[in-house]
Amino acid sequence: MSDANSGVIRLQLDNVSELKEKENEHLNLKRNFFEIIVEKNEIEGEESLGVNLTCNRCMFSNVWSCNASVRVSLVGFDGSDEKSTFSMNFLKKFTRFDDEITIPTFKKWSELMDPKNIFVVGDTAVVEVAITVNSCTGWNKFHLETFDTPNDQLTDVILMVEGKKCHVGKQILACHSGYFKALFYGDFKEKTAEEIKIEGVVHSEFVDLLNCVYPTDFEIHHKNVSHILKLADRFEIYSVLKEAEDYLMNTSKMHTVYKLKYAEQYKLGRLQDKCLYSLGDSKVIIDWQNHKHYKMLGDVTLSLLFQKIAELAKKENK
């Protein structure tokens, strides 16, 4: 079982010399939602780069707490020079009434932009926040399975993926997957095998898929949804396909072009319908032709988009 309690939020600031709006990025760690906000401040006539880290800002319960070690760093681009990284360390107990670390003057703007410090290269700077959750209260322990050890009561077959063993239960997988049902109980030689080799799969991605099937706390997000869809489709695990589709229907972290590509590739009708329904401006669709993945859309999707453009243009000309 995996119980990672550390993670890093990395926020790349492009066009940092013209930074005007707040930039943000987030991380889910042991059921705690951390968000970093970076902005340009002016305090007493001096400009600075300000950093703010919040924990569970949207949680209204007052019974939770999170003890965490935090390291906020301005990352230099010369990795061999320790002087090019500026950091601050904190030991913080986050609660409903004290849910943030605020550093309004994390780094003077003049020092940030000074070429000698190598903090900005090509008008790009990087802020990293390394977080280790030491303890937390208010909810059950977050857990994921690694499937690297057998369980006498729950596992009865080994799947070999990239030379690594995944201990699983035949009945559990067969209940969710048509592929594994046929493999374990059909007329194949693997039916009686104690070890079965799975080809063409990345081990870490396959473990993610298994965590979707088993009752763990695995969460689908924009960084893993692509391989979850690919594997769920390959192994005919339609409950996981639906879960991934639900994520795509509700996330704002992915461009609609990507969503439409996935909808056509994996036959996600609800997702395709919601994407098309949400389009209210024909010019937006036309501008998509400049998107790097627009040409990857299939004829079926392009035909629907052309119909949508005509429909919207008709309404706009009334």
Write out pLDDT tens, residues 83-127. Answer: 468 999 999 999 999 999 999 999 999 999 998 888 888 889 999
DSSP element (H, E) containing 12: strand 6-14
Band (213; pLDDT cuts 50, 70, 90): very high
Say what the pTM is: 0.60
Phi-psi region of 178 (alpha: psi -120 to 50; beta: other; left: phi over 0): alpha
Q: Where are the domains of the chain?
A: 6-137, 157-244, 255-316
3-state secondary structure of 54: strand
Write out pLDDT tens, residues 54-72. Answer: 999 877 888 999 999 999 9
Band (82; pLDDT cuts 50, 70, 90): very low
Write out pLDDT tens, residues 150-201. Answer: 987 889 999 999 999 999 999 999 999 999 999 999 887 777 788 999 999 9
Percent over 70 (pLDDT), the chain: 95
Whole-number Å distance between alpha carbons of 66 and 161:
36
* For range 69-83, the mean pLDDT: 74
Band (134; pLDDT cuts 50, 70, 90): very high
How much is the pLDDT for 27?
Answer: 86
Structure-block tokens of residue 164: 């690594």
**Res 20 pLDDT > 80:** yes
Write out pLDDT tens, residues 272-303. Answer: 999 888 888 887 788 888 787 788 888 888 88
Q: What is the CATH number of domain 6-137?
A: 2.60.210.10
Q: Which residues pair with 70 in a beta bridge?
A: 90, 131
Architecture of domain 157-244: 2-Layer Sandwich (3.30)
DSSP element (H, E) containing 283: helix 282-287
The CA distances from residue 256 to 57, 223, 226, 270, 296, in Å, are: 28, 16, 14, 14, 13
How much is the pLDDT for 1?
Answer: 33
Indicate the burial class of 129 (C-beta count within 10 angstroms; 0-12, 13-18, 19 or more).
Answer: buried
How much is the pLDDT for 189?
Answer: 77
DSSP element (H, E) containing 180: helix 178-185
The reply to whether 157-244 shares the fold of 6-137 is no
Band (218; pLDDT cuts 50, 70, 90): confident
* For range 130-140, the mean pLDDT: 86
